[in-house]
Structure 1
Amino acid sequence: MFTTVLGSIQSKAPRRPVHSLVLWTGLTFFLVAASTYFLSQTRPAVDYFTHRQEEPAAANRTNPLLTKEGIDQFALDHAYPRLGESVNFTGLHQLCNSTKWQPNVYFACNHNAGGLMNVRNMVLNCIRYAIAAGVSGLVMPQMEVRDPVDLRHLRTGEYQSIGFLFDEPWFKEVMKENCGQMEVFDTIDDIPYSGYAMMPDLLNIQAIMEQPRGTKHGMLRNKKPWEFRSRFDKLIKSQNKRPTETSPVIVRLDDRTLFSFPPSFDPPSVLNSLGFTLDFRPDLSALANVIIDRVHKTLNASGNDPYIGLHLRSEPDAGKYWATWDQLANATISTAMNNEIKLVYVASGDTDGVANLTRKAAESGIKVLDKWNVLSDDEKEYLGPFRFDQQAIVDYLALLRSDRFVGSGQSSFSSQLLLRRELLANLTLTEEEKLAEPENVSRDQLAGPGRLGYWDMDWP
């Protein structure tokens, strides 16, 4: 077809073939250049944290947050010192130094699933069991992400690295400095001779501990954690041959690690620091810091307005006996009035519930904010494509820094927030301030029928 078209052009201008050829060549060059430019401008944006390609919701090429360089600079400009930088990891260091390590045995935990706090707890349990087992290497845990449309559908078969939620370089750095006896591998394939590994099937902690096997939270609890090492060693010895460099053992835990290892088994130095090995993604942490600054300056641009953080857990999938919308709303407004606070930051997937709370609180002169009415258009454009549990990171950090907190007693998200807030308050208060705080008065409260029955199985 190309020669036919060229021939037709030449036949119409037989006396000026050179001019026609030059004209056609120029036209062809222009079309090729224009096509190349157009394709370069419409290619999918790459999420460099998870290596997924996603078409941006809007082709806004002026938004720096849609480029890797832009979000890197944003995180650098707005990232406060991470909480873990002020934490003493001496307890973890001593735990690892006192552990008897065994060569050529490795741990992999890829079946972590659920909400943000449940995934965090499962990953931390995996790390703690790996140390207890004395394995020589740990594969970076993965997680199974929930359905983006049906949030109740947790088992989707879509796996992501924990970089989906957490800061992988920070985790590797902390583990190398404080527990370097256990090497951290990016994938199972990075383990030497992984293709010749023994014990390929998934293992269950309850089976190792000879406890009744089940999925209910109460049945997941390891009732004798001090026996785990001896039982694990027995399991390794039961293999056909001893683990060697060319025939290693790779232990893959199943998905029943949630609320399994009791943190209270460890001394406070370990209990209160292990959770800080996991820190959130720097880009979403920076976005949370921006939100916190703006909330503090809502009523007085040059001030530091106090605010109440509310986890309004009133979505349709909330449990039958959980705190109701009325209980959460009343507790929040009452706390605000008693403490003369005029701002509430709410985290919730219940848009109608947030709207109703906004109207109800306004009757008492209280302003309600959430992430969507605090962020700029460019920031919303960046946050919008993130999954539900990724967006929850921003809310978690904003609630963590609030002056008072109200949540649902039966929510693991609220319960863990309360644990972390209690820990941070204890770490930052001076002895005089601790003595001045009445023991029967709490800064925070969980509404509803009481605290989560297994809240003590969560890492603070």
Structure 2
Amino acid sequence: MKVFDTVEEIPNAASVLKIEEFYPKDLNIDLDGCDGRGVNRHLDFFRPKFHAWLETTRRKPTAEAPVTIRFKWATFFEWPIYRDGPEFASTFGDILRIRKDLQELAAKTLSAMSKFAGVEPHPPTLDAPYLGVHLRTESDSLGFWPNFEEQSNGYLQQSQKLGLKYAYLACGDAKEARRFTDKARNQTMPLHVATKMTLLQGEDYQRLTNMSWDQQALVDFLVLSKSTHFTGCSFSSFTMNIAFKRHLMTGGLNTRQWKSPGDQFSTLIGRFESWYGDWMFMYECMWP
């Protein structure tokens, strides 16, 4: 598979036919009397239907006339990944790799986190005991998500349950991060909290702050993935993806699907009792 950074790099880009906001479910018009989500049962037929759609609408790509397609909606709300089998479901998400410079910053953050937890780092094996926490209370979080008190109480309960005295915190709001850090430090069994901003120094800190916010978040992604135990907000796709990735450690390629609220490696806060809401589809439709 060849991956291009931009459309302009595709051979014969001047002849590209751009299809915007393509929605796979639009190919399934028979709902069998169900509501809109009922079309999920017909996803097995997507490939032949998709090829037929390309043929009948004269959109079939060729080397001379390439076609680009942009999905209308995020597939992690729509496509049950295990329809393609556990081997594919467990590995497809690794096709795109995190950049080497981000991996290097994450490694330095992990080393600093190890020292913060009082364990001298010995790369490449870093086994410092720490809780990974993703606090999702930024201004764009939705009102029905777990609030700060619900999330923080749940995370601190996990630290006490597991006997962990150190935590690595990821949060996009510095004020909320300080709020959690203070609360963690002042509980009966203090939890000492660090972030990438407090762990990195000098040129490494400068390299980090020169990156965009989503690039910086990938450093968090890698460090949280290596934590002794991980916990985060169950409505967050960022949290869920880390938990799903860690879940693969339970059985490798043949790992069973995730079950709320967690496993021995991760625990999500804000447990669901119903599978009918759109957010629940992330449990079945997100590539780890």
1:306·1:343 contact (CA, 8 Å) conserved in 2?
A: yes
Q: Aligned letter for 1:235? A: W
- Within a 5 Å distance, the mapping from 1:49-448 to structure 2 comes to 140=4, 161=5, 187-188=7-8, 190-192=10-12, 194-196=13-15, 199-202=17-20, 204-206=22-24, 208-211=26-29, 222-239=40-57, 246=64, 248-259=65-76, 260-302=78-120, 304-363=127-186, 364-427=189-252, 442-448=264-270
Cα drift, residue 392 of structure 1: 0.3
Cα drift, residue 293 of structure 1: 1.7
Cα drift, residue 211 of structure 1: 4.6
Corresponding residue SS for 2:73: coil
Larger Rg: 1
Q: Distance in 1 between matches of 2:250 and 2:174?
A: 31
2:11·2:63 contact (CA, 8 Å) conserved in 1?
A: no
Q: Distance in 1 between matches of 2:128 and 2:212?
A: 30
Give CA deviations for 1:371-391 in whole Å, capped at 9, x if unaligned.
111001221111112111111
Corresponding residue SS for 1:442: coil
Structure with bigger RCO (C-alpha 8 Å, 6+ apart): 2
Residues 230 and 291 of structure 1: CA distance in aligned 2, closer, same or farther (over 3 Å):
same
Residue in structure 2 matched with residue 457 of structure 1 by the alignment: 285
Cα drift, residue 347 of structure 1: 0.1
Q: Distance in 1 between matches of 2:210 and 2:94?
A: 27
Matched residues, number: 261
Residues 335 and 297 of structure 1: CA distance in aligned 2, closer, same or farther (over 3 Å):
same
Q: Aligned letter for 1:390? A: Q
2:117·2:129 contact (CA, 8 Å) conserved in 1?
A: no
Residues 200 and 365 of structure 1: CA distance in aligned 2, closer, same or farther (over 3 Å):
closer
Corresponding residue SS for 1:300: coil
Q: Distance in 1 between matches of 2:217 and 2:83?
A: 29
Q: Distance in 1 between matches of 2:59 and 2:224?
A: 52
Corresponding residue SS for 1:224: helix
Q: Distance in 2 between matches of 1:238 and 1:207?
A: 17
Give CA deviations for 1:133-162 in whole Å, capped at 9, x if unaligned.
xxxx8662xxxxxxxxxxxxxxxxxxxx4x
Cα drift, residue 318 of structure 1: 0.9
Q: Aligned letter for 1:351? A: A
Alpha-carbon RMSD across the aligned residues, in angstroms, is: 2.9
Q: Distance in 2 between matches of 1:220 and 1:391?
A: 38
Residues 222 and 189 of structure 1: CA distance in aligned 2, closer, same or farther (over 3 Å):
farther
Cα drift, residue 327 of structure 1: 1.7
Q: Distance in 2 between matches of 1:418 and 1:374?
A: 23
2:25·2:39 contact (CA, 8 Å) conserved in 1?
A: no
Q: Distance in 1 between matches of 2:251 and 2:25?
A: 38
Residues 323 and 447 of structure 1: CA distance in aligned 2, closer, same or farther (over 3 Å):
same
State TM-score, norm by structure 2: 0.79
Give CA deviations for 1:402-448 in whole Å, capped at 9, x if unaligned.
001110011111111111110134339xxxxxxxxxxx963321112
Q: Distance in 1 between matches of 2:196 and 2:270?
A: 25
Cα drift, residue 330 of structure 1: 1.5
Q: Aligned letter for 2:266? A: D
2:155·2:269 contact (CA, 8 Å) conserved in 1?
A: no
Q: Distance in 1 between matches of 2:120 and 2:154?
A: 29
Q: Aligned letter for 1:256? A: W
Corresponding residue SS for 1:446: strand
Residue in structure 2 matched with residue 121 of structure 1 by the alignment: none
Q: Aligned letter for 1:457? A: C
Q: Aligned letter for 1:348? A: C
Give CA deviations for 1:36-94 in whole Å, capped at 9, x if unaligned.
xxxxxxxxxxxxxxxxxxxxxxxxxxxxxxxxxxxxxxxxxxxxxxxxxxxxxxxxxxx
